[in-house]
Amino acid sequence: MPELPEVENVKRDLAIALKHNPKINQILFNTVRLRTKLDAKINSIVCGMKIWSLIRRAKYILFEVDNGFLLSHLGMSGSWRVQGSNGDKLKHDHILIKLSDGNMLVYHDPRRFGVFEWLPNKVSMSSKWLIHLGPEPFDASEFNTEYLHKKLSVKKNAIKSALLDQKLVAGLGNIYVNEALFLSNISPLRKSFRVTKFESEILVKNIRLVLQKAIDSGGSTIRDYRRGNGNTGNFQNQFKVYGRHGLLCLSCKSKIKSKVIAGRSSFWCPKCQK
DNA sequence: CTGAGCTCCTGGGAGC
DNA sequence: TGCTCCCAGGAGCTCA
């Protein structure tokens, strides 16, 4: 479900709710595992610690506590919400974090593809979840024309697959890759090494553009996604190609094509994108 | 090493 | 109404 813009919005909404740095009173698990096993020891480790800040890295949210981080990944259907301790209890509420201010953080995830793990300080950024991630799209010193073109120039796979690879650039998912390729007039089927340096520059610009617009719109809600404040996003109303199979290209009126590439539905305009 | 395909899981929508 | 099939914002793993 959630790509960088959605995770960024969840993070921002949670940060507002946590701005007074509440302590963690208790963490309760209502299921044995998400994508990985939930470690029952987490409660005793972080109990009594304050939540100092929230960090987003790629599609991960890191809750910074006294001597480490709680790492959360939302998978396809995960969401966090903040509610009073006597708030609603929903099916698929798997993690409850009771806070000293009377509020409770609730992790909801029907498909249970998410991740929730404890990263002590000495591990943190070198953990297996984070160590292989590529640059953040908005980090111009690391993610730029030279970097992208150099990486793409040695890859034989489709550009669609390359951009979904979190080692190349972190945070893109299926929706925003489709949208960024449309804005850049590049077919998702194009071999990565055939993307020119000039096109790499366009691509970098459009990846940032589409992500920024999506962040500003609160992310995209297809079905499950909710912001940390419970609201839906609005960017789904601005999709140019994603989910528009058979509809007319907003630029040239050709029919939008659809095909599975790298196991994911891909949408593009055969006339605008070459 | 690389890329394609499978896998974890539930629920919603389409089609019959 | 109800059943079955297919599909979904991710990403690690296996296999050729």
Q: Which of A127, A132, A214, A117 is nearest to A167 (CA)?
A: A132
Which of the nucleotides lies closest to A35 (Cα–C1')? B8
Give per-residue pLDDT as tens, A55-92.
999 999 999 999 999 999 999 999 999 999 888 899 99
pLDDT of residue A68: 96
pTM: predicted TM-score of the whole model, two decimal places: 0.96
Residue nearest to nucleotide B4 (CA to C1'): A262
Q: What is chain A's alpha carbon radius of gyration, rounded to the nearest angstrom? A: 20
Q: How confident is the model at residue A125 (pLDDT cuts 50, 70, 90)?
A: confident
Is A142 noted as a catalytic residue in this protein? no
Which of the nucleotides lies closest to A165 (Cα–C1')? C11
Please compute the mean of the pLDDT values over residues A234-248 and round it to a whole number. 93
pLDDT of residue A175: 95
Residue nearest to nucleotide B10 (CA to C1'): A111
As given in the structure block, the two tokens for residue A111 are 């498909």
Q: How far is the CA of A226 from the C1' of B14 (A)?
A: 25
pLDDT of residue A1: 64
Give per-residue pLDDT as tens, A37-50.
999 999 999 999 99
Average pLDDT, chain A: 94
Rounded Cα–Cα distance for residues A45 and A27 (Å): 10
**Do A262 and A254 form a contact (C-beta atoms < 8 A)?**
no
Rounded Cα–Cα distance for residues A142 and A187 (Å): 25
Rounded Cα–Cα distance for residues A176 and A195 (Å): 18
Distances A185 to A193, A200, A201, A212, A241 between C-alpha atoms, Å: 16, 11, 12, 19, 12
pLDDT of residue A273: 96
Query: Which of the residues A11, A56, A59, A151 is marked catalytic?
Result: A59
pLDDT of residue A224: 77
pLDDT of residue A122: 84
Please compute the mean of the pLDDT values over residues A182-196 and round it to a whole number. 95
- Cβ neighbours for A73, distance < 8 A, ≥ 6 positions apart: A35, A59, A60, A61, A114, A115, A116, A129
pLDDT of residue A47: 97
A16: pLDDT strictly greater than 80: yes
Instruction: Work out the percent of chain A whose per-residue pLDDT is above 90.
Output: 91
Is A190 noted as a catalytic residue in this protein? no
Which of the nucleotides lies closest to A128 (Cα–C1')? C12
pLDDT of residue A192: 95
Nucleotides of C under 7 A from a protein CB: 7-12
